[in-house]
A = this chain, B = another copy of it.
Amino acid sequence: MPAQGGLRFLSSDGAIKPTGTCLGASAGDFVFRRRHARHRSGEQCDPRQRGREERIRQAFTNTKVITESEDASLASRVRLTVFVTNMKRLRPLVNKIQEQLWASGPYPPRTILKVAKLNQDNIFEMEWTFFAPA
């Protein structure tokens, strides 16, 4: 995506073109991103639980890779808002994955919310802001 006076948008790397949105934007000292995990069945034993954890982990891992490609790191995340469709099942998975990724801390300031519905078939979405001084 073209830069516009210090502003840069990140387009989707996947085959599916998202509607009305892009993956993120970099502007001034900050980077703004969104990520989701879709609802779909996995193929392992206990497929649903396995599938959920893997898909949420993938969303975090993708974020990590992209963040590092911008010369920043997960440690520079200054805000994380997590939206789930099932607090009881998904919050423990999010906590577990975060403990693995931010082993040395500190954790970002996080809010986790159960909402009535997410876009399409998503079970999990996150919005985050990280600090990447220009």
Name A's B-contacting residues (CB within 8 A).
1, 4-7, 9-11, 18-25, 27-30, 32-34, 75-81, 83, 87, 91, 94-95, 98-99, 102, 105-119, 125, 127, 129, 131, 133
Contact = CB atoms under 8 A, between A and B. Distances in A.
Given A22-B109, A106-B22, A79 B119 contact: no
Q: Quickly give the copy total for this chain.
A: 3
A55 B30 CA distance: 32
A55 to B, nearest CB: 17
A80 B19 CA distance: 13
A76 B21 contact: no
A78 to B, nearest CB: 4
Given A111-B83, A116-B114, A127-B79, A106 B33 contact: no
